[in-house]
Amino acid sequence: MTDRDQTFAKVAELIEPFNKKGVALTDSTTFAGDLEWDSLVVMDFVASVEDEFDILITMNMQAEIETVGQLVDAVAKLKAEG
């Protein structure tokens, strides 16, 4: 497993409690469209990702993240910076 695969797997695990429709997750899965998350679910989920990886994903960054793949890449980048 590459680092990216591991990050993807961890992110997928964190998505599960909020994945009410059991959507299959790929890099191109969108949070608003495919997972149908509203802003409140996003808040809970982002907080759990931040705490898992010990990073901060500002709301400014969140505005640019629409898919699972983009989130995985952002987490990898923030971990490297931290």
Partner 1 sequence: MTEALQNAMDPADEAQPVAAPGRDLFAKFDPLIAEREALLSTGVRDPFGLVMEKVLSPTRAIIRGKETILLGTYNYMGMTFDPDVIAAGKKALDDYGSGTTGSRVLNGTYQGHRECEEALKEFYGTDHAMVFSTGYQANLGLMSTIAGKEDYIILDADSHASIYDGCFLGDAQIVRFRHNNVDDLARRLARLPAEAGKLVVLEGVYSMLGDIAPLKAMVEVAKRHGAMVVVDEAHGMGFFGAHGRGVFEEAEVEDQVEFVVGTFSKSVGTVGGFVVSNHPKFEVLRLVCRPYVFTASLPPSVVATAATSIRKLMHAEEKRAHLWKNSRRLHLGLRELGFTLATPEAQSAIIAVLLADQETTVRMWQALLEAGLYVNMARPPATPTGTFLLRCSLCASHTDEEVGQIIEMFAGAGRATGVIG
The residue ranges that bind partner 1 (CB under 8 A) are: 38-41, 43-44, 46-47, 50-51, 54-56, 58-60, 82
The gap between the terminal CA atoms of the chain, to the nearest Å, is: 22
On whether the CB atoms of residues 35 and 19 are closer than 8 A, the answer is yes
Q: CA–CA separation, 33 vs 61, rounded Å?
A: 18
What is the smallest separation between the CB atom of 9 and partner 1, expressed in angstroms? Answer: 23
Q: Which is nearer to partner 1, 24 or 59 (CB)?
A: 59
Q: Which is nearer to partner 1, 2 or 60 (CB)?
A: 60
Q: Which is nearer to partner 1, 46 or 74 (CB)?
A: 46
Total number of residues shown for the chain:
82
